[in-house]
């Protein structure tokens, strides 16, 4: 009996979900655990969005929708792209999926063949390489250095493009580093891509509403419209509107690609939840005050967390431009022993000892293909974040 296909051997289970489950288990056992590892806003979905979903249920919007999403929502998505970036997509250049993860899955599975390569700057969200591998492709990881703000330089991109490159995957702003590219930086990367017409671009802009200190959010097609015929712009409601559980993501791109994605989705989940779509419609067409309020809160937390972690012995913490994570470099702590006697051989050992000795749950950098770091999410209440950072200071201060 075969209970797992060989293609699954190419991937490992999501390490971020694994951390969350471990923290939950320890809590259920009565341990005092501060979980600052989560990839979702701690805020509740805004009330007007919930009300729209309730109204949709009452109005009987409980049936299948078009595979690509309701017309109203696709128009609202097109409206978002126009409003925020000045990009014009028609309804049939938009696909709504069960989360942006499915949109990415659709795109890569619909287009990649064995031997194709996808270039992915790292540190990166772990699902990109996993989905590329599931699609039969090869993930070409390009490490980005702290000195460059963890951003990909145009020369690095140029150096990795081969005749096999099918996709370049950019996450802007980036999970886990918070690195964000402005329009000029995107144009510079775009200049490289214009020289390689066989390469498609997938830009995952899911954190685009969450940039700080007025950092000007930009997206690839806005910065370099000549890349429009081969760029897929992915986004979703999870992060900006605190809607992770509603599972609504979307993508805008060339019609042929969107049709291929729709064909695939038609045989997997069909449409995203009709009720989730009604909620997403309210989110994309409603007032932006709640997004602004969340962004301001995230910004205050970011400042506090960065300051506290930089005061921890051996940690070096960059200030993220966007998203809601910090990704401190812990290399100076490795090779040392903790107060509890654990030897910190690598980031995995650091994270395990931090959880065991101080009850603080973070995610190891190796989960993002960047060993020697951990990711802490500031999508958690300010007092919990402060306490977590103070415990991290104590943990690092006791290393010998
Ligand atoms: C960079 C990035 N892209 C996509 C997703 C998936 O989001 P969704 O809830 O829309 O599937 C996440 C979630 O953590 C993410 O961090």
Query: Can you give the CATH number for the domain in which 13 is found?
Result: 3.90.1150.10
Residue 81 included in any domain: yes
**How far does residue 204's CA lie from ligand 1's centre (Å)?**
8
Q: Within this chain, do residues 301 and 267 fall inside the same structural domain, yes or no? A: no
Q: Which residues of 130-146 are buried (b: 16+ CB within 10 A; e: fewer)?
A: bbbbbbebbbbbbebee
The reply to whether 206 falls in a domain is yes
- Determine the pLDDT at residue 25: 85
Question: Ligand 1 mean position to 339 CA, how many Å?
Answer: 36
Same domain for 11 and 108? no
Q: How far is the CA of 333 from the centre of ligand 1 (A)?
A: 30
238 shares its domain with 222? yes
CA 324–ligand 1 middle distance (angstroms): 12
Residue 51 lies in a domain: no
Residue 370 and residue 337 share a domain: yes
Residue with the smallest CA separation from ligand 1 atom 13 is 39
Is residue 236 situated within a structural domain? yes
* Within a domain: 55: no
The confidence score (pLDDT) of residue 13 equals: 76
Preceding omega of 123 cis (within 30 degrees of 0): yes
Ligand 1 atom index nearest CA of 104: 4
Q: Where are the alpha helices (DSSP H) in the chain?
A: 15-28, 47-58, 71-85, 100-111, 127-134, 154-160, 183-194, 220-223, 255-266, 274-285, 289-310, 347-358, 382-397
Please check whether residue 265 lies inside any domain of the structure: yes
For residues 229 and 291, give the distance between their C-alpha atoms in angstroms, rounded to a whole number.
31
- Final residue in a domain of this structure, among 285, 305, 327: 285
Number of domains in the chain: 2
Identify which of 206, 324, 325 to mutate to test ligand 1's pocket (most ligand atoms within 8 A of the CB): 206
Atom of ligand 1 nearest to the CA of 40: 14
Give the per-residue pLDDT at 12: 81
Distance from residue 107's CA to the centre of ligand 1 (Å): 15
User: Probe ligand 1: pick from 100, 178, 237, max atoms within 8 Å of CB?
Assistant: 100
Ligand 1 is surrounded, with C-beta below 6 A, by 39, 99-101, 125, 171, 175, 204, 206, 236, 238, 244, 249
| pTM: predicted TM-score of the whole model, two decimal places | 0.96
Residues 96 and 179 in one domain: yes
The H-or-E segment that residue 281 falls in is: helix 274-285
Which ligand 1 atom is at minimum distance from the Cα of 101? 11
Ligand 1 atom 5: residue of nearest CA:
101
> What is the pLDDT, as a whole number, of residue 253?
98
**β-pairing, 117-122 with 165-171?**
parallel
Rounded CA-CA distance 117/167 in Å is: 7
Domain boundary residue among 252, 285, 318?
Answer: 285
Residue 321 in any domain: the answer is yes
Q: What pLDDT tens digit does each residue of the chain (400 aa) get?
A: 888 888 888 888 776 777 777 888 888 888 899 999 989 999 999 999 999 999 999 999 999 999 999 999 999 999 999 999 999 999 999 999 999 999 999 999 999 999 999 999 999 999 999 999 999 999 999 999 999 999 999 999 999 999 999 999 999 999 999 999 999 999 999 999 999 999 999 999 999 999 999 999 999 999 999 999 999 999 999 999 999 999 999 999 999 999 999 999 999 999 999 999 999 999 999 999 999 999 999 999 999 999 999 999 999 999 999 999 999 999 999 999 999 999 999 999 999 999 999 999 999 999 999 999 999 999 999 999 999 999 999 999 999 9
Contact between 249 and 103 under an 8 Å Cβ cutoff? The reply is yes
Is residue 356 domain-shared with residue 270, that is, in the same domain?
no
In a domain, 59, yes or no: no
Regarding whether 278 and 209 lie in a shared domain, the answer is yes
Give me ligand 1 centre to Cα 127, in Å: 9
Ligand 1 centroid – CA 337 distance (Å): 35
- Both 91 and 238 in one domain: the answer is yes
What pLDDT is stored for residue 96 in this prediction?
98
Full residue range of the structural domain in which residue 342 is found: 6-44+290-397
Distance 135 CA to ligand 1 centre (A): 18
Is there a single domain that holds both residue 165 and residue 308? no
Same domain assignment for residues 133 and 118: yes
Which ligand 1 atom is at minimum distance from the Cα of 204? 3
CA distance 230 to 253: 7
What is the per-residue pLDDT for 230? 98
For residues 232 and 306, state if they share a domain: no
CATH of the domain at 101: 3.40.640.10
Residue 108 neighbours by CB distance under 10 Å: 26
Please indicate, yes or no, whether residues 203 and 270 belong to a single structural domain of this protein.
yes
Q: Show which of 285, 312, 339 is a domain's final residue.
A: 285
Ligand 1 centroid–CA 376 distance in Å is 16
Give the three-state DSSP class for 217: coil
Q: Which pLDDT belongs to residue 26? A: 87
Q: In DSSP terms, which residues pair with 326 in a beta bridge? A: 376
Shortest-distance atom of ligand 1 to CA 39: 14
């Amino acid at each position: 009996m075969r209970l797992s296909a060989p293609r699954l051997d190419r991937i490992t289970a999501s390490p971020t979900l694994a951390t969350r489950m471990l923290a939950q288990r320890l809590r259920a056992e009565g341990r005092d655990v501060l979980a600052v590892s989560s990839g979702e806003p701690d805020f509740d979905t805004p009330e007007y969005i919930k009300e729209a979903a309730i109204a949709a249920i009452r109005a009987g919007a409980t049936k299948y929708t078009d595979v690509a999403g309701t017309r109203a929502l696709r128009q609202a998505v097109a409206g978002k792209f126009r409003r925020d970036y000045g990009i014009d997509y028609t309804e049939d250049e938009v696909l709504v999926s069960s989360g942006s993860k499915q949109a990415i899955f659709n795109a890569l599975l619909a287009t990649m063949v064995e031997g194709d390569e996808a270039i992915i700057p790292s540190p990166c969200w772990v699902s990109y390489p996993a989905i590329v591998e599931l699609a039969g492709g090869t993930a070409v990881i390009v490490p980005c250095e702290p000195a460059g703000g963890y951003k990909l330089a145009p020369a690095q991109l140029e150096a990795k493009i081969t005749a096999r490159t099918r996709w370049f995957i950019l996450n802007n702003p980036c999970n886990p580093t918070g690195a964000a590219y402005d329009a000029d930086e995107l144009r510079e990367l775009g200049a490289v891509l214009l020289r390689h017409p066989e390469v498609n671009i997938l830009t995952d802009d899911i954190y685009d509403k969450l940039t700080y200190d007025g950092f000007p959010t930009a997206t690839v097609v806005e910065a370099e419209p000549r890349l429009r015929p081969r760029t897929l712009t992915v986004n979703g409601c999870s992060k900006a509107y605190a809607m992770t559980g509603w599972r609504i993501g979307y993508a805008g791109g060339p019609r042929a690609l969107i049709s291929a994605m729709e064909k695939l989705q038609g045989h997997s989940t069909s449409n995203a939840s009709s009720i989730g779509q009604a909620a997403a419609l309210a989110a994309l067409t409603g007032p932006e005050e709640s997004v602004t309020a969340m962004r301001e809160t995230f910004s205050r937390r970011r400042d506090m967390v960065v300051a506290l972690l930089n005061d921890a012995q051996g940690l070096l913490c960059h200030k993220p431009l966007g998203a809601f994570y910090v990704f401190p470099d812990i290399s100076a702590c490795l090779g040392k022993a903790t107060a509890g006697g654990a030897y910190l051989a690598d980031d995995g050992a650091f994270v395990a000892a931090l959880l065991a000795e101080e009850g603080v749950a973070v995610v190891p950098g190796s989960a993002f293909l960047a060993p020697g770091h951990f990711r802490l999410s500031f999508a958690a209440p300010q007092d919990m974040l402060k306490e977590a950072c103070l415990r991290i200071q104590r943990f690092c201060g006791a290393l010998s």
